[in-house]
Structure 1
């Protein structure tokens, strides 16, 4: 028998003992590892990690901030504050163009940001950046602390019969799932059936996935909201009052939210996401923001924003669990970005802290590789997950738009040596807008043909009633229907992003005469600003043309109805602003036709009565439309001399599609290069009236 190997001495604990917090000895292999029959490996030595060099953009931003303390702005009358991206500030700006008082809080409190418009402190002044926090060790349990608690028993008491639950689960996956995609459908269906196989008391005491109970309840509560007449009749036949059960579930879940959050589980994150989005899309943004914030904090504690270590072999189960984690994280990221864009709140996620991959849109095998970054294009056959993958990438881009154009980093730098504030400010803004527009076009080019709305000439369902009676829908027909709904959502999100990118340039106008400005540069800058104005108009008109698509009416009865309403509302307010700028221009007639279509769209959304948000949006658009028409009448009655002042400078043709917009983007890039290379002074200054109008517009949109 061979003698035992001599054990060497070391000065630190082995990896296994360090990980399990065991008392290791000083020899290798250590006694505990020998007893356990496992390999004993020495932990790596600690080493100093060099912090990566920060982005040069952040350095220059800080430098500009320090310099601004000692220098005075060129335009002292214009308050140097970052833009707000919120829609309600756009509303207030639109009303200010007519010297009219914007809507008061009671009539806009269902709209994002509607509660804070008239606060004494401007949202611009209240923008802060979150501290750089490192997540702690994630919780290791999915059970209620200290054993079964009354909160769990109260939630379990709300569970309906199995027949009712089955109907509501089908309704969720028929009407809501395509928009959220936060679960794997097969896993969810399996888990809820296992839950119902247990007696109620055993469910409280020993169900291994107790966090799922709250998630399941929120799922069926949302499904109750979107059950059509046929399904409501089926529920009533089982003795269920849909609205009463929905309110009891929501009120109880809201009351027990801290108990749910204390689980610190993936299901707790899912509950917060579902509950938060429900409040956001149904007129209660004051509840949506903190609830989604709770979900974000749990997700960060669970390290959902970090990718898992790569292994040589991954099982099918491990792959699905990882994809579920990513679904949950990107759902959080999207709603955080949407809230930040709509409310004008600061974004609470730092991209530099996140390295989790995007979802794998193929979703067919464990060998599928997720794109590692937003710059990587994923070319594969379209699936129902392609929508979520594309929306996640767009959310990252929108976050950059909010940071570069609307955040603290977008504050106008003060006077520099050799240039004026107005010149350098416009120069930087043109560069940013051009770069972001190019990224947006790259994202649009990645959309597969199956997810382009212009292909949807007909629908697979002829009416809402037919859609309502197809319970537990599946197969090619239903899949084609889901594709069309996702087409619509992607189209709206894209056009809204175009408006978001180009809005800041609308605040500039030329200052004539200008001795230092070359004729070529003057034309280039004017054309760049005009292209942004045109892009905003094109995007709003393209949004209005969605009314002509057959899928729009059916989409108004799904979970996306408020999402649709918020984007059509923004497009309508933007058209009101553009018409007010040039009420007698040729383009204004087409804009008024687009505004008319958007009013009809809002009216249809309101009639479905799923959210008070659409009701308030329609009322504001109608009021703005009256002001626009009154201004047009005043302009028409002016003398011919005054009328000539409203004639716009030569612009561009309005008959443009997305393909033509790609050409516009190329024009903007080319003009930007020529502008930035020209050493002549930019003689464009910010128009105080328009700046205030756009700022007020942003505050107004936040009311939503």
Structure 2
């Protein structure tokens, strides 16, 4: 269709209207020049902020959809309150809009809807995006703001459900507009479903957003032909914000469910976001460079986008997610496969530490820092918050989210090593044995435990209570749930040890955090996570009681502790030496004797026991297997990221699947 447009231009003739090309891929693009004056420095075919339909068979339908969406708009006073609520509670976590630009555009939309015939603007994208902002804000309006809404005769629950129902029913019409606003709508609707009890809807909705984003070439860098105007520069930054929001969601869903990632990095050359938001659409640092700059509101989004790229690589290298290459892993010995895995974990751990080093001071989490606001009620009354107090509050929220993301990444990359353990031969003399702290399976357990324990301490921070009523509440719940499952596993395989006691103390803090999220956040995920963790905790305590009474049937743990050098390994768990030790085990000296690698049946048995206990529970909470194949493996954990606790070799399993 680009050739068609070029041919008509060559002959100085008007291109055909889109009614002649609607059935052809790219047929809508031949009239790109009719969408408005070109933006300086950006080729016109790349600029499609919101498509305006020409006369075609969909004209009347588009007019009807837009008119129906416009009919859902609340009064201007209510809209102003809800826009403020969105930017107070949600924007710091999503950052897909330029705040000033959004505030100006919604006012213009109200002016247009009043002064003109409803539905005249046939692109439903901007209206649907604004309605999603309104719906999410209704979810996070506190008691003070709800009282204001009631004075305007607004039922927050009814209005929210009505908006969501209409947008869901009209989603295909919205994405058909292929506009940036359509991508934003999918981001908002998909994350809402992901964080509020309908995760199975989130995946396809976010997939729609990804496909529209790719159709708009948001994943590609725009060619710059001349100096950019402020409007063009803002357009480029908006495109980048939308793309990286999609990338983060795609990665998060891939981690949550073990689904293949839908983005091929080799196809993408768009830059990371500019934390300073001062350059002309160009990130000041490439992906592999360490970018140190003062903290800004965009620093958080830059760091999370960069972490998403890292996590996508970890999913591919460690779990085989999205890896289509044939592997010779099965033809290699267990020790060789273990060494290969160990190298990958070491490399990824180094990348994660370099990412952490980029976090600026104000975004480094400190659980002892005082919160800017004394209570949620104080925040609720600060409508349209701004200034140093609110800025500090936002930085603390973002620091909490970054800390959880870091700990979660640690668990993700070290968890595969827990499937192995190293057995030392009894004919080795003590002098010839490797240093106890160099046991790699012990290091994996230590790294995972330390990450989970770090997560358990997050609830001690005053900012945690304030974060429970933000859009990040479910995000926090997912990460604390993962840490809780890990501590249950560790408590089970380390029964009656000091480490088990430490893990149970961390688990108690996790349960307290989940209970607080359940009582204060509007999402249902926290309630389900708390229920599952409580049931797992009961199982762990029952197993420990049996071991205490000498009734346990699993003797493998005792044999593990009687192996030469392993008892000392179990007691060496100093976090300060962990990273150095992980590097040392990759370069053994000639005097060191590397142990034999075995599958860790203790971990497998613990996971199997936990899985069976949940599956055989009398609880009526619906728990569907992740895999529906009756002949294939199943895992009754339905909470996000629980798939990583499957007993099979992750890489082998995904290749077979």
Fold-level similarity (TM above 0.5): yes
Structure 2 equivalent of residue 20 of structure 1: 6
SS in 2 for 1:347: coil
Which residue of 47, 51, 56 maps to 1:142?
51
In structure 2, distance between residues paired with 1:655 and 1:414? 31
Structure 2 equivalent of residue 446 of structure 1: 358
CA separation of 1:513/1:455 partners in 2, compared to 1, >3 Å: closer, same or farther?
Answer: closer
In structure 1, distance between residues paired with 2:118 and 2:4? 36
Structure 2 equivalent of residue 111 of structure 1: none
After superposition, the CA RMSD in angstroms is 3.2
In structure 1, distance between residues paired with 2:413 and 2:268? 24
In structure 1, distance between residues paired with 2:551 and 2:161? 60
In structure 2, distance between residues paired with 1:474 and 1:184? 15
Structure 2 equivalent of residue 472 of structure 1: 384
1:650 aligns with 2:572: no
- What is the CA-CA distance between 1:690 and the residue it aligns to? 2.9
CA separation of 1:688/1:189 partners in 2, compared to 1, >3 Å: closer, same or farther?
Answer: same
- Report matched runs for 1:229-308 at 5 Å: 229-308=143-222
1:566 aligns with 2:478: yes
In structure 1, distance between residues paired with 2:79 and 2:140? 14
**2:136/2:192 contact within 8 Å kept:** yes
Structure 2 equivalent of residue 540 of structure 1: 452
- What is the CA-CA distance between 1:353 and the residue it aligns to? 1.0
SS in 2 for 1:510: strand
- Which consecutive residues of structure 2, in runs of 5 or more, have no partner in the other structure? 14-44, 612-625, 627-634, 641-657
- Which consecutive residues of structure 1, in runs of 5 or more, have no partner in the other structure? 1-15, 26-30, 33-135
1:152 aligns with 2:61: no
CA separation of 1:664/1:525 partners in 2, compared to 1, >3 Å: closer, same or farther?
Answer: closer
- Report matched runs for 1:585-624 at 5 Å: 585-624=497-536
1:381 aligns with 2:294: yes
Structure 2 equivalent of residue 76 of structure 1: none
Structure 2 equivalent of residue 555 of structure 1: 467
Aligned pairs, how many? 573
CA-to-partner distance for each residue in 1:446-500, whole Å, 9 max, x for gaps? 1011101127510110011101000000011100000000000000000000000
Structure 1 equivalent of residue 548 of structure 2: 636
In structure 1, distance between residues paired with 2:494 and 2:389? 47
Structure 1 equivalent of residue 341 of structure 2: 429
**1:171/1:471 contact within 8 Å kept:** yes
In structure 2, distance between residues paired with 1:283 and 1:664? 38
CA-to-partner distance for each residue in 1:571-592, whole Å, 9 max, x for gaps? 0000000110111111111111
- What is the CA-CA distance between 1:185 and the residue it aligns to? 0.3
In structure 2, distance between residues paired with 1:691 and 1:282? 32
Which residue of 310, 334, 339 maps to 1:397?
310
CA separation of 1:521/1:20 partners in 2, compared to 1, >3 Å: closer, same or farther?
Answer: farther
In structure 1, distance between residues paired with 2:264 and 2:519? 40
**1:517/1:680 contact within 8 Å kept:** no
Structure 2 equivalent of residue 486 of structure 1: 398
1:181 aligns with 2:95: yes
In structure 2, distance between residues paired with 1:390 and 1:684? 37
In structure 1, distance between residues paired with 2:232 and 2:71? 33
Structure 1 equivalent of residue 249 of structure 2: 335
CA separation of 1:283/1:665 partners in 2, compared to 1, >3 Å: closer, same or farther?
Answer: same
CA-to-partner distance for each residue in 1:213-257, whole Å, 9 max, x for gaps? 000001100000000000000001000000000000000000000
**1:499/1:535 contact within 8 Å kept:** yes
**1:178/1:482 contact within 8 Å kept:** yes
